[in-house]
Amino acid sequence: MTALHLAVALDGARLFTLRDLAELVTEAERGQLDFVTFDDSLGATPRLDALVVAAALGPMTRHIGLVPTSVVTHTEPFHFAKALATLDYASRGRAGWLPVISSDPAEAAHFGRRVITGLTPDLIAEAADYVEVVRRLWDSWEDDAVIRDAATTRFVDRDKLHYIDFEGQFFSVKGPLITPRPPQGQLPVIGTPAPWADLVLVDPAEPVPTDGKHVFGDLVVYLGDDANLRARDADAHVFAGTPQRLANQLLAWAEAGLTGFRLRPGDLDTDLTAITRALVPILRDRGVFREQYEADTLRGLLRLDRPTSRYAA
């Protein structure tokens, strides 16, 4: 069996200060996990902005991937393309992106631009166009577009900046981006099964075709002898039991084709450390998890090739 990939979701009401988040991400990095995701929404639950949090944690960490969630339904792709590229620079190539759709009418009312009655095909199609625009904007600068030629006072090679000229049902974007191409070229994009996702999150109990992509089981975990007593309803598959039992279950799912898992600690105070200090050593003993970080970027950790710009000659 090839090595497993592990990530954790740092969500929940406790995540209200940067100090809390820094401690949790440091613990996740101590366990050599691939990446952490930060939840975000336009709802009433108070939380720090996920992208700002990831940017603040970039200089505080060295290896672990930082993946903010962003709501694409009421925001503009040009602004997020710029902000995510900046995050990739701040983290030295360790940024990812988890776009989500807002189908809540109450959230739409914050903006007053349109009426939303639930998840519709148009919202899904809009999200796909949004991701496509962002990807094209990241490619609008070739890798060697920045020349910094002091003799001629030229900062960029104009021939290596490109208009994307995107015209779709939902967006019209000319480009190019105002930020150079991110260090990874393209940030890994994470989401539910969709053609635009590099890494797909699924219910681990539901078999899905991999199509050559990373497919991560997404599950809430309560670990320890009292796990069954602490387990609560969640919007994902729930596992309650010991780290040993979880290791057995993860390996069984991996045999069925999953390449990794995003674990959502039911209790951030106890279950995250159970993952890093109990589950990870068990997986290492079985030869399916890294002993140390072996790459400097999130694409490298996920063993994804770095793509060239689609506009490069």
Q: Tell me the pLDDT tens digit for each residue of 272-283.
A: 999 999 999 999
pLDDT reported for residue 289? 97
* The pLDDT value given to residue 279: 98
Q: What confidence score (pLDDT) does residue 294 get?
A: 93
Annotate 158-171 with b (16+ C-beta within 10 A) or e (fewer). eebbbebebeeeee
User: Taking 60 as the threshold, does the pLDDT of residue 76 lie above it?
Assistant: yes
SS3 call for 200: strand
pLDDT in tens, 39-56: 888 876 767 889 999 999
| Domain spanning 5-100+187-301, CATH class | alpha beta
Separation CA 252–CA 209 (nearest Å): 16
pLDDT tens digit sequence for 92-111? 999 999 999 999 888 888 88
Give the pLDDT band (50/70/90) at residue 14.
low
How many residues appear in the chain?
A: 313
pLDDT for residue 130: 97
Residue 1: band (very low, low, confident or very high) from pLDDT cuts 50, 70, 90:
low
Question: Is 13 a residue whose pLDDT tops 60?
Answer: no
SS3 138: helix
* Secondary structure class of 176 (helix, strand, coil): coil
Query: 257 vs 182, which has greater pLDDT?
Result: 182
What pLDDT, in 10s, does the model give residues 171-222? 999 999 999 999 999 999 999 888 889 999 999 988 776 677 899 999 999 9
User: Which pLDDT score, from 0 to 100, does residue 62 have?
Assistant: 96
Q: Write the secondary structure of 29-46 as one string of H (helix), E (strand) and C (coil).
A: HHCCCCEEEECCCCCCCC
Choice between 7 and 114, residue whose per-residue pLDDT is larger: 7
At residue 293, the 3 state secondary structure works out as coil
Higher pLDDT, 254 or 226: 254
> Per residue in 120-152, pLDDT tens?
999 999 999 999 999 999 999 999 999 988 888
Q: Is the pTM of this model over 0.75?
A: yes
Reported as a pLDDT band with limits 50, 70 and 90, residue 27 is very high
Is residue 28 pLDDT above 70, yes or no?
Answer: yes
pLDDT at 155: 87
Show the CA angle centred on residue 190, arms to residues 184 and 195, nearest 5°. Answer: 100
Confidence of residue 287 (pLDDT cuts 50, 70, 90): very high
- Give the pair of three-digit tokens for residue 67: 């993946």
- Contact partners, residue 11, CB within 8 Å, separation at least 6: 37, 38, 39, 264
- Alpha-carbon distance of 12 to 5, in angstroms, equals 23
The CA–CA distances, whole Å, from 98 to 127, 196, 273, 274, 296 equal 11, 11, 24, 25, 20
